[in-house]
Chains A and B, each alone.
Chain A
Amino acid sequence: AQSVTQLGSHVSVSEGALVLLRCNYSSSVPPYLFWYVQYPNQGLQLLLKYTTGATLVKGINGFEAEFKKSETSFHLTKPSAHMSDAAEYFCAAFSSGTYKYIFGTGTRLKVLA
C-alpha cells in the first residue's frame, strides 16, 4: 500500500537557519506529491506540488522541494527560516491508480529567535 513518511514530528531551527523537512513516499509508480502548511486554527494551504517535469519545485514563501525518484524522497527546504514559518507541515501523495490523497503525519516546525 502506498504510504507517506515524514521523519521528525517536531523540528526546531533558529531564525535565519536552513529549514529541512523530510518526506519519503513508497510507491512502485511515482505519485503526484504535495506539501501543505497548516497555521493554528486554520485549514491546510498548498505550499507546492510536483506532478511531472522539473524535479526542483518552487513554492510560496520561499520554500522549495526536490523530487528524487532514486531516493523516493520529496524533502522541503527553505534557505533562511523566518518566525512566520512556524507551523505544521504535511507531505501528501496522490495516487492516480487509487484516486486517493495520502498524507504524512506532519512535522511541526518551531523557529527560535
Chain B
Amino acid sequence: EAQVTQNPRYLITVTGKKLTVTCSQNMNHEYMSWYRQDPGLGLRQIYYSMNVEVTDKGDVPEGYKVSRKEKRNFPLILESPSPNQTSLYFCASSPQSGGPEPLHFGNGTRLTVT
C-alpha cells in the first residue's frame, strides 16, 4: 500500500531532550516536507526537500533540523525541544519536485514538550 509512515504517533518529552520523528514513504517521491499544525494557524511548513541531499527551510525552521540521505526517509530532529514546539506534526511527500502534484500525508505525530 502506498503510504507515508510517521513514527511515533504520540510523544511526550521534556525540555532539552533531543528527539527524532521518523518519516518514510514507499512511493519513490522526490519531494518531502514537514509541517506543524497549530489551532488557528493551519499548517506551516518547517523544512522541505526536493530530492536526496537537497533540503531547504520553510516558514518556521527555527529549532528543527532535517536530513535527506535516502529518497524514502526524511527525519525531523529537535536537538533541544522547548514547550513552544508542542504541536501536531505532519510529514508529506509528492512525486514531482516542480509540482503541482498533491501532497500525500502521514497520520501525524502529536508532540508534547513539558
Q: Taking CB as reference atom, which chain B residue is nearest A47? A: B102
Chain B, residue nearest A43 (CB): B105
- Select one of B42, B97, B98, B107 contacting A43, CB under 8 A: B107
Residues of A within 8 A of B (CB): 6, 9, 32, 34, 36, 41-46, 49, 51, 90, 92, 94, 96, 99-101, 103-106
Contact check: which of A32, A36, A104 meets B100 at CB < 8 Å? A32
A96 touches B107 (CB 8 A): no
Q: Is the interface of A mostly helix, strand, loop or mixed?
A: strand
* Residue B50 at the chain A interface, CB threshold 8 Å: yes
Report yes or no: A94 in contact with B99, Cβ–Cβ below 8 A.
Answer: yes
**Residues of chain B at the chain A interface (Cβ within 8 Å):** 4, 33, 35, 40-45, 48, 50, 58, 90, 92, 97-100, 102-103, 105-108
7 A-B contacts (beta carbon < 8 Å) = A90-B42, A94-B99, A94-B100, A96-B99, A104-B42, A105-B42, A106-B42
- Write the nearest CB–CB distance from A88 to chain B, whole angstroms: 9
Complex CA distance for A5 and B9, rounded to whole angstroms: 29
* A3 to B: closest C-beta gap in Å: 11
Would A41 and B97 count as touching, CB distance under 8 A?
A: no
